[in-house]
């Protein structure tokens, strides 16, 4: 590699590290300083920060496309490899790609900033269709061979599988010992389910946990009273901007422009961007906590409680999509230095860990993993369905899909008792 090529690679790697921790607010001067060069020398390799971002994203897309191409080729070249092993191997490859390109992946989750070039908008908005196609074709082979159960929505399963694997390395576990096992654990959950038996939809619908969850969901229909209509409107606008742009990239000026107010008026109403975010998320977290608390307090089995938690979460995504996007951003990234959006996360994880322990002791649940913490974290995200899936299916069919994967498993398991 030439000296210039080595320097270019160093700049890209340094920029990726800074973008992963600080997002788009990272400046060219910060990148140059971290590389130990003058900003003018950096311009010898890249004419703008956008040019660096575009190349990082293109490298990520190319890597992901290569994985897809290889997966499709292997379906023909090595037909004797068990399909379950093939699906898990593909999941591990997708997760590893996400880890290698963490910064680029994060940069594709939000809309490019206003004024972004057409090239950046095009590159950032391109859907990774090749990998979705590769996953879909792989599980179609699995269903044709009798490994994947009939009745599974394969397109939704492929979409969810890709999203889950791509998000593996983006949460708070990317530096945790044993975290490299999470992709495999989540693959096993989606394929095999966590229930040792075969709970039917009718049984789960009749549970005390589901009744408790539904009561909380119904209570969200009660409108919250706000003394200042402008503040209500401002919070709604800010939720949308934070969810669309990301918290760090959204300025008070952006919120003011979207709300049709002056920047000064916004500051008088909210105090600061941090305070505005805190008030938005406080109401959201209160609703989520109420749902989880009601489910945990019900007289129900571990499986019934986990099923009811998924129903709460699906309705959260359906009703409060902007707040969900903001929370998901926190889980994708390192916790922001401003407002800790995950102040309830540790408590939810402890509750889930205790519930899993109860279910494993009673023989209701089976969930492999190197530690109780990693088993709980591996399941935590799978209790949520991403917004595009909930929007496509609507809540009740989304719950049916969640049951067919997380609870019962997408793979055929003849040894289980179907009641």
Helix (H, G, I), strand (E, B) or coil at 218: helix
Cα separation, 231 vs 269, whole angstroms: 7
Structural domains present in the chain:
1-47 (1.10.10.60), 201-365 (1.10.357.10)
Per residue in 278-311, pLDDT tens?
888 887 888 889 999 999 999 999 999 999 999 9
Cα separation, 393 vs 401, whole angstroms: 9
Cα separation, 313 vs 125, whole angstroms: 27
Per residue in 205-220, pLDDT tens?
999 999 999 999 999 8
Residue 331 scores a pLDDT above 70: no
Q: What is the pLDDT of residue 130?
A: 95
- Other Cβ atoms closer than 10 A to 193: 26
Mean pLDDT of 378-393: 93
Beta bridge partners of 148: 411
Mean pLDDT of 132-144: 96
- Find where tokens 């067919």 sit: 404
The DSSP letter of residue 23 is G
Q: What is the pLDDT of residue 291?
A: 95
> Which among 111-120, 150-159, 343-352 has the top mean pLDDT?
150-159
Per residue in 64-103, pLDDT tens?
999 999 999 999 887 788 999 999 999 999 999 988 898 8
Interior/surface letters 232-270, b for 16+ CB within 10 angstroms, e for the rest: eebbebbbbbbbebbbbbbebebbbbbbebeeeebbebb
Look up residue 323 and give its two tokens: 């707040």
Q: What is the pLDDT of residue 19?
A: 84
Q: What is the pTM of this model?
A: 0.86
Region of 228 (left: φ > 0; alpha: ψ -120 to 50; beta: rest) is beta
Question: Residue 251 phi/psi, 5° resolution?
Answer: -105, 165
**Which among 352, 341, 356, 370 has a CA at the least distance from the CA of 278?**
341
Cα–chain center distance at 321: 13
Percent of the chain with pLDDT over 70: 88
By CB atoms closer than 10 A (0-12, 13-18, 19+), residue 144 is exposed
């Amino acid at each position: 590699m030439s000296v210039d090529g080595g320097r270019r690679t160093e700049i890209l790697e340094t920029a990726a590290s800074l973008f992963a921790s600080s997002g788009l607010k990272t400046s060219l001067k910060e990148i140059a300083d971290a590389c130990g060069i003058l900003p003018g020398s950096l311009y010898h390799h890249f004419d703008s920060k956008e040019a660096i971002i575009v190349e990082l994203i293109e490298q990520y897309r190319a890597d992901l496309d290569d994985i897809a191409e290889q997966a499709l080729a292997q379906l023909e070249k090595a037909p004797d490899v068990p399909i379950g092993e093939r699906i898990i191997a593909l999941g591990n490859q997708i997760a590893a790609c996400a880890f290698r390109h963490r910064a680029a992946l994060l940069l594709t989750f939000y809309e490019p900033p206003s004024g972004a070039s057409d090239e950046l908008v095009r590159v950032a908005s391109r859907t990774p269709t090749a990998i979705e196609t590769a996953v879909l074709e792989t599980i179609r082979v699995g269903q044709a061979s009798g490994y994947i159960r009939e009745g599974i929505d394969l397109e939704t399963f492929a979409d969810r599988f890709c999203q889950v694997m791509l998000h593996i390395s983006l949460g708070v576990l990317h530096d945790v010992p044993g975290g490299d096992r999470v992709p495999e654990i989540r693959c096993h959950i989606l394929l095999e389910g966590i229930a040792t038996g075969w709970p039917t939809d009718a049984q789960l619908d009749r549970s005390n946990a589901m009744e408790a969850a539904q009561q909380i969901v119904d209570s969200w229909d009660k409108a919250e009273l706000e003394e200042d209509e402008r503040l209500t409107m401002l919070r709604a606008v800010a939720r949308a901007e934070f969810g669309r742009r990301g918290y760090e990239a959204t300025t008070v000026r952006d919120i003011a422009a979207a709300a049709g107010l002056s920047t000064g008026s916004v500051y008088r109403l909210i105090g600061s961007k941090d305070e505005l975010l805190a008030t938005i998320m406080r109401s959201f977290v209160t609703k989520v906590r109420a749902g989880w608390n009601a489910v945990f307090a019900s007289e129900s089995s571990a499986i019934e409680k986990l099923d009811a938690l998924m129903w709460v979460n699906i309705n959260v995504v359906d009703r409060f999509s902007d707040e969900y996007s903001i929370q998901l951003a926190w889980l994708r990234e390192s916790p922001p230095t401003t407002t800790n959006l995950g102040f309830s996360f540790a408590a939810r994880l402890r509750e889930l860990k205790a519930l899993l322990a109860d279910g494993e002791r009673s023989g209701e649940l089976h969930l492999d993993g190197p530690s109780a913490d990693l088993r709980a974290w591996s399941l935590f995200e799978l209790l949520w369905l991403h917004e595009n899936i909930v929007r496509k299916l609507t809540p009740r069919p989304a719950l049916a899909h969640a049951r067919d994967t997380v609870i019962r498993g997408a793979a055929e398991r003849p040894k289980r008792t179907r009641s």
